[in-house]
Amino acid sequence: RFRSAFDNATIGMGVVALDGRWLQVNRSLCDIVGYDERELLASEVRAVTHRADLVALEEQMQRFVVGAISSHQTEVRYCHKSGKEVWAHLGMSLVRDGDARPLHLIFQIQDITDRKRAESQLLHDAFHDALTGLPNRALFMDHVKMAIQRSRRSGNRLFAALFLDLDRFKIINDSLGHMVGDQLLVGIAHRLEACLRPGDTVARLGGDEFTILLEDLSTTDDAIEVALR
């Protein structure tokens, strides 16, 4: 019954040796990482784990080996055979032998890539303007607060906040339509981004109002120079 449940589970399941080698894998796990059973059994967990998550994996595997923990849950990234990144919820459990010595691990892997993408998109939308893709008021104010804190720590560190309001923009919307007005706003956003230095921030507050945050200025003349571009 365990073998049937293992093979037919809708989530990825694998039996893993304490040194990281795959001992058994099911079809769902193969689908998640894109490798067939033969390929996985000839490799180890580290081979499909994203390099940024390898250190954390090694630490947890070592804790299992010494018997410090018997189970652990985490989120981890895997490298699909096609090269894409796969986010997964990983549950690891330790199996002991008759003498209570660590024998091997059971991995339960659920693909959560779609959920992570949705979370990332929601976070992006919360802090960016939907039309231009620029930071919105909330993100701009957060950057300003950080600039103020950095300036307080270093008294000689200058920054400037510029405000840009487009005069007579309503005439564009009334005469040519809102679609043309939106295209103009997007064009202005791109133009402003092209004028800035790496690390500077341009944001849209709403309507025809834009703001620019310039950091690491030597003198106030630097801000004037950017404003006149």
Catalytic residues: 208
State the Cα–Cα distance between residues 25 and 107, nearest whole angstrom.
9
- Please name the residues in contact with 51: beta carbons below 8 A apart, sequence gap of 6 or more: none
How many CA atoms does the CB half-sphere of 67 hold within 13 Å? 7
Torsion of CA 138, 141, 142, 145, to 10 degrees: -160
- Work out the number of other CB atoms within 10 angstroms of the CB of residue 138: 11
